[in-house]
Amino acid sequence: MEPQLNYVVVYDITTQPPFSHEWALLSAGVFTVGLVWQVLRVRSDKKKEHPPERPRLTTPKVLMGFATIMAIVGVGLMGWDHQRLVRALEAGEAKVVEGPIQSWSTERQRTSRRDKYEYHTYESFYIGDSIWFGYRWEVGQAGFHNATDPPIALSNGRMARATYLHADGEDDPPRIVKLELAIPFVLPK
């Protein structure tokens, strides 16, 4: 009896959070530290007969401003990118490719930092012989980038089905919005 392929969904953007909760908590924590520091400083100054002259830009205000920028970039931008891909998927703009994984590889790439040795893992592969995918594991982005711990085991010859979008233009690798891997099994007689 010939084995049949059963595809299992290993990634689906519609079930993923739109941004990193850790990043949101970090932004909120930094903002809260700045806010509490500012409130305590103002209360302390009000109790003094001659409060000190303070510049308009104080450390607590800088912390709150930095936290706001962190939230806009890390939460707002990531959430927008996620929603953009989900809307495109729902609008039927996605394409599907199915076939064996080919030319699969991972590569350690050194970052541009000169003060220390820092690397990212870059993973790339073809599905079938037509569509090439590539991404860095450690870089948070909307779409599949194999950031689970441990990473999903991809290998040459493994059958896969990917739903993808050219979210960043035709020159960049497409983003996988749904990835299914085949698990061969034999049907009972």
The answer on pLDDT for 64 being more than 50 is yes
Q: Give the C-alpha distances (Å, rounded to integers) separating 49 from 9, 39, 41, 52.
A: 67, 18, 14, 10
Torsion from C-alpha of 80, 86, 88, 94, nearest 10 degrees: 140
Q: Which two tokens stand for residue 162?
A: 């990917």
CA 49, CA 137: separation in Å to the nearest integer? Answer: 57
pLDDT in tens, 130-178: 888 988 887 777 888 887 778 888 889 899 999 999 877 776 789 999 9
pLDDT in tens, 105-122: 888 877 776 677 777 788
CA 124, CA 107: separation in Å to the nearest integer? Answer: 9
Q: Which residues pair with 102 in a beta bridge?
A: 126
Q: What pLDDT score was predicted for residue 170?
A: 75
**pTM of this prediction?**
0.75
Token look-up 């809307």 returns 87
Q: Average pLDDT, whole number, for the chain?
A: 85
pLDDT in tens, 70-83: 888 888 888 898 99
pLDDT in tens, 9-37: 989 999 988 887 888 899 999 999 999 99
Q: What pLDDT score was predicted for residue 168?
A: 77
Judged by DSSP in three states, 17 sits in: coil
Q: Say what angle helices 59-71 and 21-47 make with each other, to 10 degrees.
A: 160
